Structure 1
Amino acid sequence: MLPREASSANSLSNSLFDRQADWLARYQYGLRLSEQGNVVSIGDGIAWISGLPSARMEDVVHLEDGSRALVFHLARDRVGAILLRQTSQLTAGTAVFLTGKRLSIGVGRALLGRVIDPLGIPLDDAGPIQFDIYRLLDVRSPPIIARDFVAQPLYTGNKIIDTMIPVGKGQRQLIIGDNGTGKSSLAIDAVINQRDKNVYCVYVLIGQKRSTVVNTIEILRRNQALSNTVLVVAEANAMPGLKYLAPFAGCAVAEAWMAEGYDTLVVYDDLSTHARSYRELSLLLRRPPGREAYPGDIFFLHSRLLERSTRLSSKQGGGSMTALPIIETEQGEIASYIPTNLISITDGQIYLDQQLFARGFLPAIDVTRSVSRIGGNAQHPNIKKEAGRMKLDYLQFLELEVFTRFGSRLEPTMEARIRRGQILREILKQELLTPLTIEFQMAWLVAYNEGMFDHLELDQIKPCLQYLQEQIARTRLSIEEGHEQWRILVRTWLNEMGRA
């Protein structure tokens, strides 16, 4: 053995000896009672256990083969537990032991840039994670007296959302729409936009394919947004128990930062899969089914999760946790069971329409069905003033556009309003992975409201907006500047572009 290896081995043996000596010094003789149960049956991620009369809901139990489970159902003569980790040696008759502990997860800055499962186990190749603090997955939401009003904007970088459907720090804004309409892309854009705004992000992927998970990681890494983001992943082939726990794990991670006074953003992608996983577990545990075979407490499941998102008062540190839950609809039906539940729980919804998507209007946000119950309370006064004028024009245009389909002759004033509406619709189009600064939002709002785009053709709108964006990046103009200064600068830039 080399001298260095011998020294390392000696130090390791000394460390083990010291720990054993310390344990022996603290050991006390006495009678100890413990319960031991046995596995009755196993199947589909569920273990039925007998012989644990002191078991409580959400207790963690250890199985003799090394598996772990979470008590999830209490029957008269047995306990139903959802498996968190299952070994190949797990069979009926395996001994089960109570731990007296609830499920927790390691939290802290060590998680930034990492990919973990709902138990905090790393899924990437960056090595183990050293945790100093652990936090329970399922806790009560902050009381009313610990909360403050939502008054600070959380910018997503999207033209439509930041101007017409604003999101505030501490808000719960639902993203809803059919499959393939761009819900996840919208959430990823919001995460990317937080990379330089001192907002910690948690992206929870529930029941997604591995290719989707890898693609999400690569997009965040390519856009320098992975360093302030944690990904909590329960893949499609994961046990139903892990898919059920995934959003609670992500919430616990974000909640720890909120308690320290930081602003956080957590995305649940998506809660439709989460609801189906919970329904699967409930049916396997023989709970009485309700509407659409969902258990009766499905509403409570999501409400206790989303109620934890809030803005804390200054006495509590002033941190915030903004939630963007994603829910999937079928054929645009928002009145089905799970979507209506989440609409009633959240502070508004961003609705993505399949028909708008098919027409090429991206992002396919239907402004008429989308709403933010926080509204202008979470907007900068300058943006609020300019966006109010623009939104009224857009809603009137959508109503007037219906009449043009009949081929009727319109008055010149009506034609002018429809043309302005068409220009605005072209302005509101936005490509994926291109979050925009709030200063640029202010620039195009002023330009539109002052009629600076009225003389342009539709194909000239995009290069004009790109020129405005370049000028904003060069001048570093603040959103705090008054309307008149914005109007003069924007008009000067557009005149320079016209001369060029």
Structure 2
Amino acid sequence: MKTFDEYLKEVGEVGYIKSVVHSIVYVSGLPSLRLKEMIVAAGGQRGVVQSLLPDLAEVLMLDTHDLANDLAVARTNETFKIGVSESILGRIVNPFGLPIDGRGPVIGEKTMQPIDAVAPPIIQRQKVNKPLESGVTIVDLLVPIGYGQRELVIGDKKTGKSTFLLQAIATQARLGVTCVYVSIGKRQSDVKNIENYLAKAGVAKNCCLVVANSADPATMVYLAPFSGLAVAEFFRDSGRDVLIVFDDLSNHAKFYREISLLSKRVPGRASYPGDIFHLHAALLERAGNVKLDQERTVSITALPVAETLEGDLTGYIQTNLMAITDGHIFFDIEEFRKGQRPAINYALSVSRVGNQTKETIDRELAQALREALAKYKKDLEIARFGVELPESTRREMDLGEKIELIFNQDSDTLVPRDLQMVLFGLLFSGFWDQKNASMMKVDLIKLIEKYEKGAFRDVTEQVLQAKKLKDLISITKNQATKLNQSLYA
């Protein structure tokens, strides 16, 4: 970016700060100023024009040091753009695209991406028809996501939302998808944990972190998701599928509320400004499947996050985001307290377009799992009364318990689709009928370890050829002896 003197010489207009309200300044004397234009102060401070008043311009400052009345400012005749290159992958940058990881500058020829680009027109849009693997069994089977989908991740603080998002990023990065993680107003320690997870998973080179910490000016935090999406659009336009995470937009709304109240704009429900819905809708509308040329379709899959309080899904920002997105995954505090990991309430989670990406076998398996779990929940209620249960009910409870056992996975475990199919094929074929949950858990750990070392790949190849659930059960039943031998070899 050029200096104040260079812009002043180039544009020929000078203005002066008339008042300072935290990170907002009011400027006079720039008659040709436009909305969203960048300005530069004499001290090098940068800002973005938020609104134009009769005699003043309201400017959101990105740098808040040494702001004072009568400080000279100059127009830039440019909107806010972020410099992006291939070298940004593996780096941690701020909303300007400048590195903050202490590893030197981002090298390479940069493309200047506007942070407020217009969403692709409907004629370029393509149907969501390709499944996206998250590596989390309960999501891939019961709340499936497709490339180009916008799926809200919602739940209380510390219920495992960020862990799931990192698992999804690790799975997709290993498949060659470019991943962008936008950290909005988080602590530096949280960002460090994300960095460490991606490095440990070996996928950092395929990911970019766009970070605005809680200590940054409110304007920087407000602009972070737009900068992150500009990075995603750069890689999409180069022909790659992109997964972007916004962690989290309820926090983003709070920072935008702070800016709006300082600007003395009329507050609405819960003191949020009236355009908060439009702001998030315009952001998320830029995601989706887009036809790049006659042959290629590329996508930006968005996973925005919203935080709830004690599982309340009826909050203003939460319901806004649920209305904007194509479904939501609900992390339930009650499931978390029961020890379920991930703590997803599949009954209250929705994927409006995910099912259309699935094959017949996936839909049949999901239906069988939902029916078995519904019976299990009903039987648990009956069992609370201490009555003697018939054999059929005990079998239903045993099956439900074992399904939940397969769904239970820690943050370091990623289960690909073929292994998910093998596990449930074994369960429904009776492989674990004579074993209790503890013995089955030992088998599951061994199966996952063996799979990661490349064992029984011939079985998984056969499983992927199955077209219906009965075919899956038949294949795993025929291979049960072989799998059992490999477990205890």
TM-score, structure 2 as length reference: 0.92
SS in 2 for 1:91: coil
**Following superposition of structure 1 onto structure 2, how do residues 197-208 of structure 1 map, counting pairs within 5 Å?**
197-208=175-186
Select which of 366, 377, 381 maps to 1:387.
366
Distance 2:381 2:68 in 1: 65
Deviation of 1:40 (Å): 0.9
Is 1:492 aligned to residue 468 of structure 2? no
CA contact (8 A) 1:234 1:246 kept: yes
Distance 1:32 1:107 in 2: 25
Deviation of 1:373 (Å): 0.7
**Following superposition of structure 1 onto structure 2, how do residues 80-229 of structure 1 map, counting pairs within 5 Å?**
80-88=58-66, 90-130=67-107, 131-229=109-207
Deviation of 1:32 (Å): 8.3
CA contact (8 A) 2:131 2:358 kept: yes
Is 1:295 aligned to residue 268 of structure 2? no
Deviation of 1:141 (Å): 0.9
Gap change, CA 1:443 and 1:280, over 3 Å in 2 = same
CA contact (8 A) 2:237 2:292 kept: no
Q: What residue number does 2:36 align with?
A: 58
Select which of 339, 343, 355 maps to 1:364.
343
Select which of 305, 326, 334 maps to 1:326.
305
Show structure 1 runs of 5+ residues with no match: 1-30
CA contact (8 A) 1:260 1:319 kept: no
TM-score, structure 1 as length reference: 0.90
Report the AA paired with residue 296 of structure 1.
Answer: G
Q: What residue number does 1:373 align with?
A: 352
Deviation per residue, 1:417-451 (Å, 9 max, x gap): 11211111112111112111211111112112223
Distance 1:490 1:248 in 2: 50
Gap change, CA 1:448 and 1:111, over 3 Å in 2 = same
**Following superposition of structure 1 onto structure 2, how do residues 32-51 of structure 1 map, counting pairs within 5 Å?**
34-51=12-29
Select which of 402, 427, 433 maps to 1:423.
402
CA contact (8 A) 2:418 2:464 kept: no
**Following superposition of structure 1 onto structure 2, how do residues 307-318 of structure 1 map, counting pairs within 5 Å?**
307-313=285-291, 315=293, 317-318=296-297
Is 1:349 aligned to residue 328 of structure 2? yes
Select which of 399, 406, 417 maps to 2:378.
399
Distance 1:158 1:490 in 2: 24
Q: What residue number does 2:5 align with?
A: none
Deviation of 1:94 (Å): 0.8
Gap change, CA 1:278 and 1:124, over 3 Å in 2 = same
Deviation per residue, 1:189-244 (Å, 9 max, x gap): 11111232010000011111111111111111111111100000000100000100
CA contact (8 A) 1:62 1:97 kept: yes
CA contact (8 A) 1:114 1:122 kept: yes
CA contact (8 A) 2:456 2:483 kept: no
CA contact (8 A) 1:66 1:87 kept: no
Deviation of 1:471 (Å): 4.5
Distance 1:489 1:231 in 2: 46
Distance 1:78 1:495 in 2: 76
Select which of 38, 43, 50 maps to 1:72.
50
CA contact (8 A) 1:232 1:246 kept: yes
SS in 2 for 1:319: strand
Distance 1:32 1:57 in 2: 19
Select which of 252, 266, 271 maps to 1:274.
252
Report the AA paired with residue 240 of structure 2.
Answer: Y
Distance 2:11 2:160 in 1: 56
SS in 1 for 2:389: coil
Distance 1:349 1:490 in 2: 37
Select which of 241, 245, 261 maps to 2:223.
245
CA contact (8 A) 1:167 1:374 kept: yes
Report the AA paired with residue 329 of structure 1.
Answer: T
Is 61-70 or 44-53 further displaced after alignment?
44-53
Is 1:335 aligned to residue 324 of structure 2? no
Distance 2:69 2:61 in 1: 14
CA contact (8 A) 2:11 2:76 kept: no
Deviation per residue, 1:96-139 (Å, 9 max, x gap): 11111110111231110000000111101221123431110011
CA contact (8 A) 2:42 2:73 kept: yes
Deviation per residue, 1:21-57 (Å, 9 max, x gap): xxxxxxxxxx987322100122321111112232221
Q: What residue number does 1:5 align with?
A: none
SS in 2 for 1:251: helix
CA contact (8 A) 2:443 2:487 kept: no
Report the AA paired with residue 414 of structure 2.
Answer: P
Q: What residue number does 2:6 align with?
A: none
Gap change, CA 1:33 and 1:401, over 3 Å in 2 = closer
Root-mean-square deviation (CA), in Å?
Answer: 1.9
Is 1:480 aligned to residue 464 of structure 2? yes
Q: Which of these two proteins has the greater Rg computed from alpha carbons?
A: 1
Distance 2:324 2:237 in 1: 23
Gap change, CA 1:493 and 1:465, over 3 Å in 2 = farther
CA contact (8 A) 2:11 2:75 kept: no
SS in 2 for 1:451: coil
| Matched residue count | 469
Report the AA paired with residue 142 of structure 1.
Answer: P
Report the AA paired with residue 402 of structure 2.
Answer: I
Deviation of 1:64 (Å): 1.2
Distance 2:488 2:269 in 1: 65
